[in-house]
Amino acid sequence: MTISSEFPVEGTCGGMALCASCQVYVLSDHDLGERKEAEEAMLAEAFHVKENSRLGCQIYLTGDLEGLVVKLAPSEDDDEESDW
Ligand code: FES
């Protein structure tokens, strides 16, 4: 999702669920399914994690996600959420 949407995220690991630089907060009511083990493990070590946190690189856009609303989580060096 973060790659195809051209969000300003580092995506340091290239979408392997190894860096959490693509963390987003899911604001809409879409069912993204359960987090897979790798995503869960990465978020357990990430900063600023909330209940609605997901790794953007692990969200695969389909027609079912029409209208999905997310907000980028702050980076580990930043305390402010972006407006994206
Ligand atoms: S790009 Fe590294 S976890 Fe998503």
Residue 24 beta carbon below 6 angstroms from any ligand 1 atom: no
Q: Given this model, what pLDDT does residue 6 score?
A: 67
- pLDDT of residue 69 exceeding 90, the answer is yes
Give the chain's mean pLDDT: 88
Q: Please compute the mean of the pLDDT values over residues 56-82 and round it to a whole number.
A: 86
CATH code for the domain of 56? 3.10.20.30
Q: Could you tell me if residue 84 is inside a domain?
A: no
Residues 6+ apart with CB under 8 A from 80: 74
Residues of the chain with pLDDT > 90, as a percent, come to 71
Atom of ligand 1 nearest to the CA of 15: 1
Q: What is the pLDDT of residue 76?
A: 73
**In ligand 1, which atom is closest to the CA atom of 9?**
1
In contact, 57 and 2? CB cutoff 8 Å? yes
pLDDT of residue 82 exceeding 80: no
Mean pLDDT of 13-41: 95
Q: Which domain holds residue 2?
A: 1-75
